[in-house]
């Protein structure tokens, strides 16, 4: 049987990991404008490479010609338009660009063309949504907390941080207003606010702060308390706030001797070389998800209606933990593993007909089906990415 073809748009650290992983079962073509990124994939004989400017419609359309499934691993600024332009090509899409726009604005378009578009299919957003989607079908969830971060193993002054995504996408996490749900109400706070210290075994103390990571969960879940916080080494909040308040993250152009310059572009250009992981430099991904609620009352299934939070079921707390590290045997960084392999699992689910819902499908939809949930968990575990669950009544 001829293998189906997958076009992976974006050959950065995460996109490359996805391409290599899928190449065992699909005909994979990695597409990028950067010949250096593509060059790193030459050693992988099963991955074809194609140099295209994906910011241009002609390049984008030619890149997916002949593909059965498309993986979007582009910068966030390109993700929304990529899906919009490719809808008419009737290609199912799994995307990890984490674009800032509301993906449901494209739902009608995706349905009209009969395609499945799985968005935010990484680690967080991504696996956090999948885990919540799974438990929301079997219990009355009253509280969801997600703490997540990707960090270098070796802390180097002054940043103590390394980025694997587009630098502007990373910086946006420090500027975008954080939204969370508290007692059924939407709360908006500045990013980097409400810091708290948390201890993690084999890691030590990390600092958590408000970030806008709930994304689609704000629309798809009727849970009275939901929050996501980003984890960094203690002390990073202060220097990030200084840079932000001084205007270094501003997207408003300023005039310098007659030349219009956006401060964020200058900041990104200066920071990115310092934030890049050096060859062989190790990183880790840590996540803790805490879900509190009650067992579903007998005879009731699905998401409870507003006002049904109090039940006669036993109250319980479920904690999922992840501590993943750089894979020395393959040279694959942890953030690429945890983000990329989740995305790759979703590609397999589409290919096998396990998930065929049309329209915009955030990852919480993947977790609603127990078979699909177990498939994703097993897919990750087979690649050494292990989520550990504990329960307390």
Q: Alpha carbon of 179 to those of 163, 190, 213, 291: distances in Å? A: 23, 9, 8, 18
The answer to whether residues 194 and 112 touch, using CB atoms and an 8 Å cutoff, is no
Q: 316, 33, 326, 359: which is closest to 216 by C-alpha? A: 359
Tokens describing residue 278: 């050096």
The pLDDT assigned to 203 comes to 95
Query: DSSP states of 294-338 as a string?
Result: EEPPTT--SSPPTT----SSPEEEEEEEEEEE-BTTTTB-HHHHH
Residue pLDDT tens, the chain, 393 long: 689 999 999 999 999 999 999 999 999 999 999 999 999 887 776 899 999 999 999 999 999 999 999 999 999 999 999 999 999 999 999 999 999 999 999 999 999 999 999 999 999 999 999 999 999 999 999 999 999 999 999 998 888 998 877 778 889 899 999 999 999 999 999 999 999 999 999 999 999 999 999 999 999 999 999 999 999 999 999 999 999 999 999 999 999 999 999 999 999 999 888 888 888 899 999 999 999 999 876 655 555 544 444 455 789 999 999 999 999 999 999 999 999 999 999 999 999 999 999 999 999 999 999 999 999 999 999 999 999 999 998
User: In order of start, what are the domains of the chain with their CATH numbers?
Assistant: 5-124+335-387 (3.40.50.720), 127-325 (3.30.360.10)
Tokens describing residue 319: 């904690």
Q: 91, 99, 94: which is closest to 121 by C-alpha? A: 94
CA angle 96, 102, 108 (to 5 degrees): 100
The conformational region for residue 340 under phi > 0 = left, psi -120 to 50 = alpha, else beta, is: alpha
Tell me, what DSSP letter sits at residue 251? Answer: -
The pLDDT assigned to 45 comes to 67
The pLDDT assigned to 293 comes to 97
- CA–CA separation, 156 and 88 (whole Å): 47
- CA–CA separation, 200 and 236 (whole Å): 17
- CA–CA separation, 65 and 62 (whole Å): 5
The pLDDT assigned to 309 comes to 44
The answer to whether residues 44 and 19 touch, using CB atoms and an 8 Å cutoff, is yes
What is the pTM (predicted TM-score) of this model? 0.94
């Amino acid at each position: 049987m001829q293998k189906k073809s997958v076009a992976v748009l974006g050959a950065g650290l995460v996109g490359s990991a996805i391409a290599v992983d899928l190449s065992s079962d699909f005909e994979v073509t990695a597409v990028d404008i950067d010949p250096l990124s593509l060059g790193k994939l030459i050693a992988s004989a099963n991955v074809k490479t194609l140099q295209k400017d994906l910011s241009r419609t002609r390049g984008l359309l030619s890149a997916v010609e002949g593909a059965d499934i498309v993986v979007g691993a582009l910068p966030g600024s390109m993700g929304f338009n990529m899906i919009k332009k490719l809808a008419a090509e009737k290609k199912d899409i799994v995307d990890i660009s984490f674009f800032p726009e509301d993906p449901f604005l494209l739902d009608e378009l995706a349905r009209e063309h009969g395609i499945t578009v799985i968005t935010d299919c990484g680690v967080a957003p991504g696996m956090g949504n999948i885990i919540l989607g799974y438990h929301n079908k079997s219990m009355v969830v009253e509280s969801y907390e997600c703490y997540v971060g990707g960090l270098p193993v070796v802390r180097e002054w002054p940043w103590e941080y390394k980025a694997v995504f587009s630098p502007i996408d990373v910086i946006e996490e420090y500027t975008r207003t954080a939204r969370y749900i508290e007692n059924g109400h939407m709360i908006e706070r500045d990013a980097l606010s409400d810091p708290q210290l948390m201890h993690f075994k084999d890691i030590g103390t990390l600092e958590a702060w408000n970030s806008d990571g709930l994304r689609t969960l704000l629309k798809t879940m009727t849970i009275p308390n939901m929050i996501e916080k980003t984890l960094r080494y203690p002390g990073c909040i202060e220097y990030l706030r200084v840079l932000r308040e001084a205007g270094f993250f501003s997207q408003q152009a300023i005039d310098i001797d007659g030349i219009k310059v956006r401060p964020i572009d200058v900041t990104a250009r200066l920071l990115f070389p310092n934030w890049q992981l050096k060859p062989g430099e190790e990183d880790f991904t840590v996540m803790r998800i805490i879900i509190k609620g009650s067992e579903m009352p007998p005879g009731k299934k699905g998401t409870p209606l507003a006002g049904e939070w109090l039940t006669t079921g036993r109250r319980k707390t479920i904690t999922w933990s992840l501590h993943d590290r750089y894979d020395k045997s393959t040279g694959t960084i942890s953030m690429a593993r945890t983000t990329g392999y989740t995305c790759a699992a979703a590609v397999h689910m589409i290919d096998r007909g396990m998930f065929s819902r049309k329209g915009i499908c955030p990852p919480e939809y993947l977790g609603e089906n127990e078979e699909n949930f177990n498939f994703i968990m097993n897919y990750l575990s087979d690649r050494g990415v292990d989520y550990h669950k504990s329960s307390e009544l």
